[in-house]
Amino acid sequence: MLADSERAVWAAWPATIPAVTPIGFIAVGPCKLPVDQREAAAGEIQQLYVLAQYQSRRLGSRLMDAALEWLEARGRMPLYIGVWSQNHGAQRFYRRFGFDKVGEYGFAVGKTVDREFILKRK
């Protein structure tokens, strides 16, 4: 993933504690979501995670700002993200960045299939 010029990853570490493991990261690239009539230049926020104890510190927002700037500079428009239907906090977060629900699909997690929402930012 890191060697792919069509994708980018940002990671964050705590400033005051030496750490080997990042406390958050975001990965972006071309859209791979099952979107009907997906635009050729569509981009995707593929993963965004921040450890629970570091949430509500604007770390996710800073990661998202960097990723959106990178995607937009490369002409990746529109932007999509898939989010678990039960992750209401993430859905609120993405709405603040202009993402709205445009579809849904089943995402296999082990032997279960989660209902995922597809969000789009125009």
Q: What is the CATH number of the domain that holds 95?
A: 3.40.630.30
- Asked if residue 1 is part of any domain, the answer here is no
- Asked if residue 79 is part of any domain, the answer here is yes
Domain of residue 50: give its range: 8-121
- Asked if residue 105 is part of any domain, the answer here is yes
pLDDT tens figures, 86-112: 999 999 999 999 999 999 999 999 999
Give percent above pLDDT 90 in the chain: 81
- Asked if residue 68 is part of any domain, the answer here is yes
Element (H, E) at 96: helix 88-96
**Cα 59 → chain centroid:** 13
- Asked if residue 3 is part of any domain, the answer here is no
- Asked if residue 90 is part of any domain, the answer here is yes
pTM across the whole model? 0.90
Please give the tally of structural domains in the chain: 1
